Structures are given as C-alpha cells and as structure tokens.
Amino acid sequence: MPESAKFSKGCEGLAVVLCALSSGFLTGCRAAEAPPDRAQPEMRLENVHFRSYRGPALSSFGEATGLVYHRDTGDAVAQDAKVVLTPEGSAEVHLSAPVLAGNLPSRTYQARGGVVMDRGIDSARTATARYGADGIVRGDEPIELLGPGYRLSGPAFTLDPADGVLVIRGGVKLVATARGATRP
C-alpha cells in the first residue's frame, strides 16, 4: 500500500488565512472595544471576514469569530476560523480549526484544537498542523482520511500544497467500510 494519498491541490488553508491577514485582505471587521485608560500593542478584532486574491482571481474566503494581532511582534491568533479555498480548476476545500496562530513576518503558522479539511466527499482530520516558510504543511500527530468506502490513518503527515500530495509518515492503516456509510 503506498504511503501517500492525493487529497487536494492548494490545501494551504492554514497559511491562506494568516497570509490573508498579513496581506491586509480583511473586510467586514469590527474592532473590539479596548480599555480607554491605556494603549496596548495589540489589536483585537471580532467577526473577521476576509477574501484573498491571486491576481484577479479569488483564491480563498472565510471568517473567524475573533483575532488578536500583536503589532510589536507580528504574532496573530484567530479563533474559530473557517476557510474556503477556491483553487482554479478544482473542487473547493473547506478548512476549519478552533485556533490558528502564527507569526506574520516569518510566515510560520499553526492550527490547533482539531483541524478539519473537507473536499467534496473526502475529509482529513488531525489535532494540529503547521505551515512553514517553505510552503509545506506538516503534522506530527495522527491524521485520519475519511471517504466513501475507506478510512486511512497514520501517525504523522506532510502535505505539499503545490502538488496536493499528502504523505502519511510512519505507516498507514486502511479500513474498508461499507460504501456510503456514515462517518464516525
């Protein structure tokens, strides 16, 4: 059994959210009220909606219930983030995570609290994922891929968004399920 599975082209959802934030593609934001008695080096935003473009084409859009941006360090933390990637010529990818954190200047990010990536009828789930400046998504915690008739899992993964190949590291376990069965 090969240790790789093609999941989706352009699955850099984690990076897209935080890159969009660093690029200033925020729209529809409402600043949370700050205490009037002191200035803080952070910005707090609620109900953040964003769109990200590559040239004239919309590449992603999404929302987060909250965002804290530290102006002095470039660190950002978004809560309850939901992102839709719209890769050209391919199915949309829906990504969600309770927490997306990163450093905008270094372009390094981490999703945690349960990361879910859905594309069509296939879904990938892991506890955490990180995106580095090299453009590769990595996870050192178990990942599970679910689809019609299968459940594939392994202890760690690497995803190259450029070609959409997800490599499960450390061995895989494949469970054949009844076609069309509901997911656990």
* Burial letters 34-52, b for 16+ CB under 10 A, else e: eeeeeeeeeeebeebebeb
Q: How far apart are CA 178 and CA 32, in angstroms?
A: 48
Largest CA distance in the chain: 62
pLDDT of residue 180: 55
Tens of pLDDT, residue by residue over 89-146, are 777 778 899 999 988 788 788 999 999 988 788 889 999 998 877 767 889 999 999 9
Angle at 144 between CA 138 and CA 149, to 5 degrees: 140
Domains and CATH numbers, the chain: 4-33+44-176 (2.60.450.10)
**Which pair of structure tokens corresponds to residue 40?**
């803080």
- 101 touches 75 (CB < 8 A): yes
Coil vs helix vs strand at 22 = helix
Q: How far apart are CA 177 and CA 162, in angstroms?
A: 30
Tens of pLDDT, residue by residue over 150-162, are 999 999 998 776 5
Sign of dihedral through CA atoms 165, 166, 170, 171? Answer: negative
pTM over 0.75: no
In this prediction, residues 3-23 reach a mean pLDDT of 43
Q: Give Cβ neighbours of residue 42 (< 8 Å, ≥ 6 apart).
A: 68, 69, 70, 71
